[in-house]
Amino acid sequence: MARKATTTGLSEAQLFDLRWARGRRDLIGPLTRLYGASHDTEVLLARLRDLLDSHWQARPADLRASDLARDIDPDWFLSEQMVAYVFYIDKFAGTLADIPARIPYLRDLGVTYAHLMPCLMPRPGASDGGYAVMDYRAINPALGTMDDFAATTAALRGAGISTCIDMVLNHTAKEHDWAMRARAGDPFYQQFYLMFDDDTLPRRYEATLPEVFPDQAPGSFTHYPDIGKWVWTTFNEYQWDLNWANPEVFLAIVDTILHLANKGVDIFRLDAVAFMWKKMGTDCQNLPQVHDIIQALVQATRVAAPGIIHKAEAIVGPHQLVPYLGKGAHAGKVAKLAYHNSLMVQFWSSLAARDTRLMTHVLRSHFPEGFDHACFATYIRCHDDIGWAITPEDAAHVPPMTGPGHRTFLADFYNGSFPGSFARGADFQTNAETGDRRTNGSFASLAGLEQALAEDDAAATDLAIARILMGHALIASFGGIPLIYMGDEIGLLNDHSYLADPARADDGRWMHRPAMDWKAVKSLAKGKSPAARLHAGTRAILAARKATPQLAGHVPTRIVDFGNPALFIFERRAEDRTLTCLFNFTETNQRVTPWGLKLDPARHYADLLTGAPLGLTDGLITLPPYGCLWLRPD
Ligand code: GLC
């Protein structure tokens, strides 16, 4: 029998008022702290409310329906069903209009969240991979139109896939309309940026500022003789930092986010958030005001588009990272997702060292077991380089390791120069002052597949495949949403073709941004190629994740210090059962006793990755080279 139609009796306007009342409570504090000294908070709130109301009124009906569903189930993104896939539209599909044809591939892999890498209108020529946006309200014409974009998000939504896009908050391209007006002398827009008449203040700031791109874009300021100004440019010269101390910037960005939310975006990746607030005498990263800005953005945009969530991109040390998922007064009120940069670094560190002690120490002592209505985005590779964020204090826990020594080892190991290394990566942005080097390279090339194939070494190929699958199993189980970077499910290798493109040649990160190999995908079913083995393995890992409620994002992750440096182990307990996940970071068999893992002798265990009952040899559990087990009692 059809259910009787019901109505809440609330008008859409009343719904908005309720959401505004909820949001307002968490907006007053941040807005007063950020702007209260120079602006009347009530006046600002009134302007904000009008802005939100106009976007709410323009919000399409299907998105309002999803708003309601997510308001009722605000932890929707914590589900173990969530699996993310990150891709460049041109390299994965061609254009936006070509994405729907690739949906079956995504669904087959288990994807429920698609991160479309930068697709808003970039400046012409070099654009930092699209992170220098010239117009936030237009799509890169090489990829399609805004109508194509809305149609694509709708097609993805129809297939149960949420859309994530990049929202670059720290800077705009110098060709953005705001910057052009500032450059032309408009005082209102000059306040949108950080402009100085001479270099006195820039020099004083620079005394404590680290450089992001010391090779390709040294310094953090650029002098423009034509306008007689110094402009704050943390990244490249053509990326002008926004002045977040100006509430007009806050309002303009809220306006932009909601405009895009109404085109069907579900998740906004807030790019380079750590840099948004500047203070003399500091490194101008992760300042407390950054968390106020994020809380204000999240709470404001949630009023007019409650279905959206935000992911903070802050590639920072553990102590600075935790607050991005909400700490103290911000708990539960800031971004729902943040990249787990430490997990990524520690994966590579343990793999090179064949030693998990640093990993166990860092992940156990610097992170809580879970967060309030928030979780990590777990990943092994992304489009950026790897920065070896190993502190001297952490290194000291594993004597005789030192911070600089281990960082040098990792850079050497992954550029392939360390004797016996299996990796084929490359150095990136050597910092002359500190000697630090970052690393580029695709997952497969860093994990040994490129070298093994070049040497036609079947045993080394097996090991490389096992390393890659171990990485996928780690991010699928550690806690949070796993992000599969396009091509890592089939082991795409480094691609050096970027060197022929003058707009890209000076940025080595392009080596790990290859095009999707659809030819390899076509022949997956046929055989035993590395791509086929990796694809089948990744697919099985993701399917196992989805069948395991212990892997939902709200379930705490308890890291076990087991005392065997070859192994990384954690437990996730939910629904009265503990899931124990084990990873062998060496190329030798490792044996563990069931009692050492505190397995219940009275119960039968299975490995959820294979579905097979746990087998013992001489009473011991065996993990093969780079093997993983997800053990759970029945
Ligand atoms: C983020 C992006 C990176 C870009 C930077 C500046 O870190 O991931 O690719 O270079 O922001 O926008």
Please state, in angstroms and rounded to a whole number, the distance separating the CA atoms of residues 556 and 254.
33
Q: Residue 512 C-alpha to ligand 1 middle, in angstroms?
A: 15
Q: What is the pLDDT of residues 528-544, one digit of tens each?
A: 999 999 999 999 999 99
**Closest residue by CA, ligand 1 atom 4:** 131
- What would the two tokens of residue 298 be? 């999240």
Q: In what order do the strands lie in the sheet with 221-224?
A: 195-196, 229-232, 221-224
Catalytic residue among 26, 237, 313, 489: 313
pLDDT at residue 435, as a whole number: 86
Catalytic residue among 80, 128, 237, 271: 271
Q: Which segments of the chain belong to CATH 3.90.400.10?
A: 177-241
314 vs 212, which has greater pLDDT? 314
Q: How far is CA 402 from the centre of its chain?
A: 28
Please confirm whether the linkage preceding 400 is cis (ω < 30° from 0). Answer: yes
pLDDT value of position 432? 82
- Counting from 1 in the atom list of ligand 1, the atom nearest the Cα of 235 is 6
Q: Per-residue pLDDT averaged across 486-515, rounded?
A: 97
- Averaged pLDDT, 300-321: 97
Which is nearest to 428 in space by CA: 351, 493, 346, 512?
A: 512
Rounded to whole angstroms, the Cα distance separating 609 from 573 reads 17
Task: Mark whether 42 is an active-site residue.
Answer: no
By alpha-carbon position, which residue is closest to atom 12 of ligand 1?
Answer: 131
Check pLDDT > 70 for residue 335: yes
Joined tokens for residue 87: 């891709």
CATH fold label, 177-241? Oligo-1,6-glucosidase; domain 2 (3.90.400)
- Binned at pLDDT 50, 70 and 90, residue 423 comes out as very high
Using pLDDT thresholds of 50, 70 and 90, give the confidence band for residue 211: confident
pLDDT of residue 3: 55
CATH 2.60.40.1180 in the chain is located at 557-633
pLDDT for residue 1 is more than 50: no
CA distances for 3 relative to 6, 67, 73, 126, 334, angstroms? 9, 22, 21, 57, 38
**Which atom of ligand 1 is the closest one to the Cα of 128?**
10
List C-alpha distances in Å: 346 to 82, 161, 339, 555.
23, 30, 14, 21
Residue 139, SS3 per DSSP: strand
* Mean of all residue pLDDT scores within the chain: 96
What does the pLDDT look like over 180-200, one tens digit per residue? 999 999 999 999 999 999 999
pLDDT by residue (tens digit) across 274-297?
999 999 999 999 999 999 999 999
**Nearest 10 degrees: CA dihedral of 396, 398, 401, 406?**
-100
For residue 215, pLDDT over 90 is answered with no
How far is the C-alpha of 315 from the C-alpha of 195, rounded, in Å?
26
Stated pTM of the model: 0.97
The residue among 554, 488, 525 whose CA lies nearest residue 111 is: 488
Q: How far is the CA of 545 from the centre of ligand 1 (A)?
A: 30
Q: Does ligand 1 come within 6 angstroms of the Cβ of 216?
A: no
> Residue 516: pLDDT above 70?
yes
| pLDDT value, residue 4 | 53
The CATH code for residues 557-633 is: 2.60.40.1180
Which atom, in ligand 1's list, is nearest to the CA of 168?
Answer: 12
Q: How confident is the model at residue 7 (pLDDT cuts 50, 70, 90)?
A: low
CA dist 406 and 418 (Å) reads 12
Q: What is the pLDDT of residue 525?
A: 87
Closest CA to 572 of 632, 612, 623: 632
pLDDT, residue 179, reads 98
- Asked if residue 513 lies in contact with residue 506, where contact means CB atoms within 8 angstroms, the answer is no
Question: Side chain identity at 590, as an amino acid letter?
Answer: Q
Does position 308 have pLDDT exceeding 90, yes or no?
Answer: yes
Average pLDDT over residues 17-28: 97
pLDDT in tens, 36-92: 999 999 999 999 999 999 999 999 999 999 999 999 999 999 999 999 999 999 999
Residues 460-482 have pLDDT tens digits of 999 999 999 999 999 999 999 99
d(CA 34, CA 371): 25
pLDDT band at 303 (very low <50, low <70, confident <90, very high): very high
- Given this model, what pLDDT does residue 374 score? 97
pLDDT in tens, 351-396: 999 999 999 999 999 999 999 999 999 999 999 999 999 999 999 9
Which one of 123, 171, 271 would you pick to mutate in the ligand 1 pocket, going by the greatest count of ligand atoms within 8 A of its CB? Answer: 271
